[in-house]
């Protein structure tokens, strides 16, 4: 079953992560991705109010909000984005890079609001899964 909703979506990923993967060994890169995922989960835990669904895979996070108050969803997404950036900038890898005089590894963050078709499982505990979107 599909339902159309207005959703606010927060996108987060590690900028230039493919380049990083090309020059770091597999273990170091895996540790780096694990650090990213732990930071994202820590941030989500502190800012989970209103989150309808999320996807965390590799070096990217997508968070969906879909309440009846779009301005509140956008404000929550902005608050989460700020918290995630702070957690990432103060994490182990960036701390070490700063000590070594190197540039920090940044996160790309985007927030968009628009129509989204969602597919719901018959299992009421399941969260919506995006199946298509269109700009508003």
Q: Where are the chain's structural domains? A: 2-135
SS3 string, the chain, reads CEEEEEEEEEEEEECCHHHHHHHCCHHHHHHHHHHHHHHHHHHHHHCCCCEEEEEEECCEEEEEECCCCHHHHHHHHHHHHHHHHHHHHCCHHHHHHHHCCCCCCCEEEEEEEEEEEEECCCCCCCCCEEEEEEEC
Alpha carbon 46 to chain centroid, angstroms? 14
| Residue range 64-82, pLDDT digits in tens | 999 889 999 999 999 999 9
Least trusted range by pLDDT, from 35-39, 55-59, 83-87, 112-116? 112-116
CATH architecture assigned to 2-135: 2-Layer Sandwich (3.30)
> Band of the pLDDT at 135, cuts 50, 70, 90?
very low
For residue 120, pLDDT over 60 is answered with: no
- What CA–CA distances, in Å, run from 105 to 63, 92, 93? 21, 11, 8
| Residue range 79-114, pLDDT digits in tens | 999 999 999 999 999 999 999 999 999 999 999 999
């Amino acid at each position: 079953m599909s339902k159309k909703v207005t959703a606010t979506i927060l996108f987060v990923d590690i900028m230039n992560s493919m380049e990083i993967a090309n020059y770091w060994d597999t273990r170091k890169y895996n540790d780096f991705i694990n650090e990213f995922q732990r930071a994202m989960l820590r941030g989500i835990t502190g800012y989970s109010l209103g989150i309808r669904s999320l996807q965390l895979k590799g070096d990217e996070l997508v968070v969906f909000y879909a309440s009846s108050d779009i301005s509140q969803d956008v404000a929550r997404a902005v608050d989460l984005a700020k918290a995630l950036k702070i957690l990432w900038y103060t994490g182990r890898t960036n701390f070490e890079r700063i000590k070594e005089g190197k540039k920090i590894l940044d996160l790309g963050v985007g927030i968009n609001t628009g129509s989204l078709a969602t597919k719901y499982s018959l299992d009421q505990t399941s969260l919506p899964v995006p199946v298509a979107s269109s700009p508003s």
